[in-house]
Amino acid sequence: MPEMQVMEDRIYDLIFICRPATPEEEINKIVATLEHSAGEHGGKIEKTERWGTRRLAYRVAKHREGFYVYMVVRATQGDIIKELERRLKVSDAVIKYQTIRLDEELKRQQKLVHRRERRAARRPRKPVAAPSSPPQQAPPPVEQPAQSD
């Protein structure tokens, strides 16, 4: 009997850089193509951000500036990224792209946060003693037996 494997969602960060003088319609066209392509392969583009024209740290394709677009892709399979990158590679306006898988890192981050919260909840919180309050654990001074003779 085939076991039902739980397909967890994979989350990818996709950043690509377009040439600086690219018209906005072309960028919209690229984004639409990617969204369509992702939808076909069972994925979804959750977020799209346009960071605008930024200065590049080094020359890419003889350009010193580029138009950054940032996307978050959610998918169950990894083949979708191959398809998206293929489209970016074919496009003339895109000079650089990078995809990073982030779901494992986000899982680890959540695990650390969860562990920290659990540890904080388990630890009994000591009452914060104000500096003006008298010490409560000071033993009373008059308890010695006076019958020492």
Tokens of 112: 């650390």
Least Å distance between CB 4 and other proteins? 31
Q: How far is the CB of 80 from other proteins (least distance, A)?
A: 20
Q: Is the Cβ of residue 36 or residue 111 nearer to other proteins in the bound state?
A: 111
3-state secondary structure 79-127: HHHHHHHHHHHHCCCEEEEEEEECHHHHHHHHHHHHHHHHHHHHCCCCC
- Output the smallest distance, CB 86 to other proteins, in A: 19
- Between 28 and 110, whose beta carbon lies closer to other proteins? 110
76, 78, 102, 75: which is closest to 15 by C-alpha? 102
Q: Tell the smallest beta-carbon distance from residue 147 to other proteins (Å).
A: 52
Cα of 148 vs its chain's centroid, Å: 74
- By CB under 8 A, name the binding residues for other proteins: 15, 17, 56-58, 60, 66, 70, 96, 98, 100, 105-106, 108-109, 112-113, 116
